[in-house]
Amino acid sequence: MYKWITRFQSNDPDWYLDESKEPKAKPTKLNAELEAVIIHTRQQLAKHDTPQTRYAYHGAVAIHQRLDEMGYKDKPHLSTINRVLKRNQLIEQLQFTRDPNKPKIYYPDIRALHPGYLYELDLVTPRYIAGYGRIVSVNRIDVYTGHANLDQYTSKGAENIIEFIVKDWKIFAKPTYLKLDNEAAFRGSLIHPRTFGKLSRFCLNFGVQIIFIPFNEPWRNPYIESFNSQFNKRLWMIQQFTDLDHLRRESQIFRDQHNHYQTYKKDHFSKQQHHGYTTSKFPETFIFNPSTEFPITIGKLHFIRWVDEKGYINILNEPFFVTKELCCEYVWSTIDTAKQTLTMYYHVSETAPRELVKTVDYKLREPATKPIPVNQFCKV
């Protein structure tokens, strides 16, 4: 009552109208100076015209990181930075083409439990350097941390991939699982059944379990596909390279900036939690000739496969009957070289336990042997 008497006595002709309930004071409102800094930082990062910003990201996280480097203690939240970018028409709109009406079938993927647990690896090919020739980039990413590594070669043979892996696992952790597509350089022969390629034999010997994703579904390796896109957009497309050495030098700068950004992103915004874990690396004294071919050693290979209308899947150039009841579903299949078996599992959902579909004999073309210890490849 007193409120209305006070408003009547104010001589305001609109005293009887409802007033806005918006707070008169906004202590968290972004000041104009900081908003201008955000806009300027975005514009500078997006130019990529200095050695420091050549391969820089320029989204909200990158701006937050830059403000931190500039000494700002009270940095705005990512949502506030995004509102500033949107208000100033600085947001890049992404186009998605997924059909919303397409039924979703559960895909039996694997989750990264800690750093160094799960890697995805892929080839970016072909690329051509004018006046030099063809190059291939071997790209690898740690699914948990987002940290990447890459190197370039003149061909995409298994020997170059193994050479890259040896260097990679000396610097970074040797993973528990390595996800790959069905490229011939990864799995070996495209014709002969039950043929284990050089890379499969190499990983089996050193205890790394390969997971082959379904045929013609590269999006099943989303982390490396995203990194490949950044490789194309932020490295390959922005400058002219003179030769392989030039590309290699720049790709290492690109890698280091990417990994620095991923570290900041995880440290400040990730909700991931992991408990104690251990990883291992190849020793610095580890020397391996990539042309060496290992025997098939005791271990496991995994295949995620789509069941066709007749109830079959393809494992290393050989059809195996699963069941017609699982037509158009995915199954997880594992070759156990010690037991010489192929076991197929089905997951109805992420929360449901996996169901054993069947186990069949899988006689190898040669007997599986014990792995050769790492120390036998170390130069004293």
* Residue 107 to residue 109: CA distance in whole angstroms: 6
116: left (phi over 0), alpha (psi -120 to 50) or beta: left
pLDDT tens profile 103-125: 678 999 999 999 999 999 999 98
Number of H helices, E strands in the chain: 9, 11
Question: How far is C-alpha 198 from the chain's CA centre?
Answer: 24
* Residue 14 to residue 17: CA distance in whole angstroms: 6
* Residue 268 to residue 69: CA distance in whole angstroms: 14
Q: What is the mean pLDDT of each run of 10 residues along the chain (380 residues)?
A: 70 71 60 85 86 86 88 87 87 61 81 96 94 96 97 95 97 96 92 95 97 96 96 93 97 96 90 81 94 94 97 97 96 98 95 94 95 91
* Residue 293 to residue 70: CA distance in whole angstroms: 52
Predicted structure pTM score: 0.86
* Residue 340 to residue 318: CA distance in whole angstroms: 15
Query: Can you read off the two tokens belonging to residue 373?
Result: 């210890």
What is the reported pLDDT for 116? 96
316: left (phi over 0), alpha (psi -120 to 50) or beta: left
* Residue 272 to residue 111: CA distance in whole angstroms: 12
What is the reported pLDDT for 99? 56
* Residue 133 to residue 155: CA distance in whole angstroms: 11
What is the reported pLDDT for 340? 97
Print burial letters for 89-101: b (CB count within 10 Å at least 16), e (below 16): eeeeeeeeeeeee
Strand boundaries in 76-147, DSSP class E? 118-129, 133-142
Give the residue among 109, 115, 111 at the shortest CA–CA distance from 275.
115
Q: Which domains does the chain have, with CATH numbers?
A: 27-95 (no CATH), 103-263+283-380 (3.30.420.10)
What is the reported pLDDT for 350? 87
* Residue 279 to residue 286: CA distance in whole angstroms: 17
* Per-residue DSSP letter, 219: G
Residue 336, SS3 per DSSP: strand
* Residue 14 to residue 180: CA distance in whole angstroms: 70
* Residue 23 to residue 15: CA distance in whole angstroms: 19
What is the reported pLDDT for 16? 63
